[in-house]
Amino acid sequence: MRRLLQTALLTTVFSALTAICLPLAHAHGQETGLTNEERAKLDTFEGVTLDKADKVFVAKDYPRALAEYDAFIVQFPESKVTPYAILRKGRSLQELQKRFEAIKVYQEVIDFFPDDVKYAAAAQFRIGQCHSENGDVEKAMKAWLALADDADYAKEPLGAAALNALADNLIKQGKADEGIKRFEQVAVNFRTSSPDAARGAIGRVVPYYIRTKPDAEKLREFYVAAKTFEHGPRDAGADAATDGLYWQRVRDNIRTNAEFTDLQKDQRDGFYRYWAGKMQGQMPADDGFQIDLANYIRAYERDDAAWAQRLDKQFADRQKEGDYARVVQWIGAFAPKKEKVEEYYQKLDFAKMSNTDIQNLVYTLLETNRDPERAKAAFAKLRTAEIPDEAKGNMLNWCQQRWQLPGSRDVALLACQSFANADAGKMQALRYLHWRCHPHHGHVRMEKDFPEGIALATDMQKVPTHAKEAFSIGGNLLQWSGKYEDAIKAYQQADSPPQTLLWTSECLAKLGKLDPAVAQLREVENFFKDSASDAALRTAYLYRDAGIKEKYVRTLRGVLKKYPKSGQSSEAHQRLEEMGLPIGGGVDTDD
């Protein structure tokens, strides 16, 4: 008989733990089932009977499932899958809200089949879940502690949910060390079987050993046990002193956990002093490591001269002739000190630099140094004729992802202008300006985005291969800038229904032309099946915005009737409920 943790392990009453049940809600759908190998061992009669029970259980016909599993247990008491059938009987009772009965059934699995770990562990978890659903959090914790502290049970899939709940609970009680140990269990035991749970646990453990209670030794032990902090498990390096990936992740986490208030100066200094001390003397050839180390020391020493000296020495000790990538790296490293940036900038010889080095310089000047003018000057040094248009498109994408950086817009457009295929480059620029102007993005637009975009769209509308898209984009830009009549004309030229019809309807509504706007939506509803429900709901909203409540309500009910399985039907249902109106009563959209 496998041991269960005694109630003496609980030293306090958990009076405020209801919230810990929320992370466990997903476990209802995480059913413990038979493997193909287990199912293959059933004889014909067992298989037929059990398949019948499983089928109705999956269909959520729990009263019938309860009867079918009971029949299997009576008919095949010596079956190797009897513990599975008993577990499913308990699940059926639990889903029928008969949780006290379910607990008794789950206990049968634990008492009579303790070594069938998969089913016994699941039963132990479900007991805790039943107690939780009954509002008895203390008993739920006892059940989950029993699961968590059993080496074999805790490795089963539902063990991750129990351990995470326990860990959260312990931390809320002020027992952080114990809670972190539980998270460590999840990270180690479920790295492959429940990877999402394991990664979540890693995300709780690492900041604890980085910031809350810095401990380089325990962090390294955890790194090895959890098979690194990467997305998927892998073997850790043999020695922390030479494990570049490990130290990269440590530095990443130091960076993300280094926010301190003005009142936390002592904590901040201690934080950086601790990690600088652990890094001293290690990874001497890793420039990134040494730059970070210099920054950590600067953070608590506050000695800019010593900081610059450390960086200069690291550069000089390992610099080779023509290694402009390192020069660019040091330009970024010295970003806070403009005179040092200038000193290293003078070391560049653009005629000898590769395009890749110059491109990285542009990125560094934009993102790290925040020097857009110099970034544009560096871009001008690129030998763009040697760069494929696809690579220039990648530069545009980089700038788009960092749209908030000063100068990223100018560099993006410079990349487009450098395309060997001039028309392709202009279309890329047009799409970029269109993206910047989109009202849903909430970007801080420049005053010239709209006029430049509209002018470029007008230009590209003359190019047959791009005309339709250019008319659509031009229509959007005109519409978003309030030029609705001109936008409608552009949409007519684009002739890309149903989308241009939907946009045209929006413009007509803005012009106060309700009936023509509705007519456009009727056209979409009548002739474009895939967009019909969208058009119908849009019609309802036109009536709402016009203050015509009767037609608004009738049209919402029409959406419910005509498109019952659509997302728009759900939205219409919600709108009617918000108004306190019955769902029925209307039969169609207004004719």
Note whether residue 555 is domain-resident. Answer: yes
CA distance readout (Å), 148 to 18, 135, 164, 326, 555? 19, 21, 10, 50, 55
pLDDT in tens, 520-539: 999 999 999 999 999 999 99
* Residue 556 confidence class, pLDDT cut points 50, 70, 90: very high
Q: Give the whole-angstrom CA distance, residue 348 versus residue 402.
A: 26
Q: Give the whole-angstrom CA distance, residue 517 versus residue 386.
A: 51
* Structure token digits, residue 507: 């413009």
Helix pair angle (467-480, 449-460), 10° resolution: 150
CA distance readout (Å), 75 to 82, 297, 310, 502? 10, 74, 79, 63
Note whether residue 63 is domain-resident. Answer: yes
Note whether residue 351 is domain-resident. Answer: no
Average pLDDT along the chain: 91
- Read off the pLDDT of each residue in 281-297 and give the average, rounded to a whole number: 97
544/138: higher pLDDT: 544
Residue 29: per-residue pLDDT: 56
The answer to whether 183 touches 194, Cβ cutoff 8 Å, is no
User: Which of 95-104's residues contact partners 24+ apart within 8 Å by CB, and which partners?
Assistant: 95/60, 95/62, 96/62, 96/63, 96/66, 99/130, 99/133, 99/134, 100/130, 100/134, 102/126, 102/130, 103/127, 103/130, 103/131
Note whether residue 313 is domain-resident. Answer: no
Q: Give the whole-angstrom CA distance, residue 330 versus residue 323.
A: 12
When divided into structural domains, the chain yields a total of: 2
Helices vs. strands in the chain: H and E counts, helices first: 30, 0
- Read off the pLDDT of each residue in 477-490 and give the average, rounded to a whole number: 97
Sign (positive or negative) of CA dihedral 357, 359, 360, 362: positive
* Residue 166 confidence class, pLDDT cut points 50, 70, 90: confident
- Read off the pLDDT of each residue in 140-168 and give the average, rounded to a whole number: 85
Note whether residue 125 is domain-resident. Answer: yes
**What letters, b where the CB count within 10 A reaches 16 and e where it falls short, cover 424-461?**
bbbbbbbbbbbebbeeeeeeebeeebbebbbebbeebb
* Structure token digits, residue 110: 């634990």
Residue 144: per-residue pLDDT: 87
Residue 548: per-residue pLDDT: 97
Q: Give the whole-angstrom CA distance, residue 362 versus residue 369.
A: 10
- Among residues 252, 251, 203, which one has the least CA distance to residue 226? 203
Q: Which residue type, as a one-letter code, is found at position 246? A: Y
* Residue 193 confidence class, pLDDT cut points 50, 70, 90: confident
* Structure token digits, residue 46: 């067992």
pLDDT in tens, 392-411: 999 999 999 999 999 999 99
- Read off the pLDDT of each residue in 103-130 and give the average, rounded to a whole number: 94
Residue 165: per-residue pLDDT: 81
Per DSSP, 387 falls in state S
* Residue 584 confidence class, pLDDT cut points 50, 70, 90: low
- Compute how many other C-beta atoms are within 10 angstroms of the C-beta atom of residue 384: 18
Tokens 């201690």 belong to residue: 270
The answer to whether 353 touches 331, Cβ cutoff 8 Å, is no
Percent of the chain with pLDDT over 70: 93
Torsion of CA 22, 26, 31, 36, to 10 degrees: -140
User: pTM to 2 decimals?
Assistant: 0.76
- Among residues 329, 458, 69, which one has the least CA distance to residue 61? 69
Residue 590 has pLDDT above 70, yes or no: no
Residue 218: per-residue pLDDT: 97
Domain span at 589: 497-591
- Among residues 96, 120, 126, which one has the least CA distance to residue 108? 120
- Read off the pLDDT of each residue in 500-506 and give the average, rounded to a whole number: 97
Q: Give the whole-angstrom CA distance, residue 530 versus residue 460.
A: 30
Note whether residue 154 is domain-resident. Answer: no
Which segment of 150-164, 523-537, 564-578 scores lowest on mean pLDDT? 150-164
Residue 23: per-residue pLDDT: 46
* Residue 14 confidence class, pLDDT cut points 50, 70, 90: very low
Q: Which residues contact 581 (CB under 8 A, 6 or more apart)?
A: 553
- Read off the pLDDT of each residue in 133-162 and give the average, rounded to a whole number: 86
Q: Which of 105, 134, 163 is the last residue of a domain?
A: 134
Residue 180: per-residue pLDDT: 96
Domain containing residue 553: CATH number: 1.25.40.10
Sign (positive or negative) of CA dihedral 357, 361, 363, 367: positive
- Read off the pLDDT of each residue in 307-313 and give the average, rounded to a whole number: 98
Q: Which of 99, 117, 134 is the last residue of a domain?
A: 134
Q: Which of 134, 162, 191 is the last residue of a domain?
A: 134
Q: Give the whole-angstrom CA distance, residue 200 versus residue 186.
A: 9
* Residue 241 confidence class, pLDDT cut points 50, 70, 90: confident
The answer to whether 400 touches 435, Cβ cutoff 8 Å, is yes
Q: What is the DSSP string of 557-577?
A: HHHHHH-TTSHHHHHHHHHHH
pLDDT in tens, 356-390: 999 999 999 999 999 999 999 999 999 999 999 99
Residue 8: per-residue pLDDT: 31
Q: Give the whole-angstrom CA distance, residue 27 versus residue 31.
A: 8
CA atoms within 13 A on the CB side of 443: 21
* Structure token digits, residue 329: 């790296």
Q: Which residue type, as a one-letter code, is found at position 155? A: K
Residue 24: per-residue pLDDT: 52
- Read off the pLDDT of each residue in 487-514 and give the average, rounded to a whole number: 97
- Read off the pLDDT of each residue in 153-164 and give the average, rounded to a whole number: 84
Peptide bond into 233 cis (omega under 30): no
Q: What is the 3-state secondary structure (H, E, C) of 327-374?
A: HHHHHHHCCCCHHHHHHHHCCCCCCCCCHHHHHHHHHHHHHCCCCHHH
* Structure token digits, residue 458: 């007008």
Residue 63 has pLDDT above 60, yes or no: yes
Note whether residue 78 is domain-resident. Answer: yes
Tokens 């509803």 belong to residue: 525
Residue 506 has pLDDT above 50, yes or no: yes
pLDDT in tens, 273-286: 999 999 999 999 99
Note whether residue 531 is domain-resident. Answer: yes
Burial class (CB in 10 A: 0-12, 13-18, 19+), 540: buried
Q: Which residues contact 322 (CB under 8 A, 6 or more apart)?
A: 352
Q: Give the whole-angstrom CA distance, residue 583 versus residue 579.
A: 10
The answer to whether 545 touches 519, Cβ cutoff 8 Å, is no
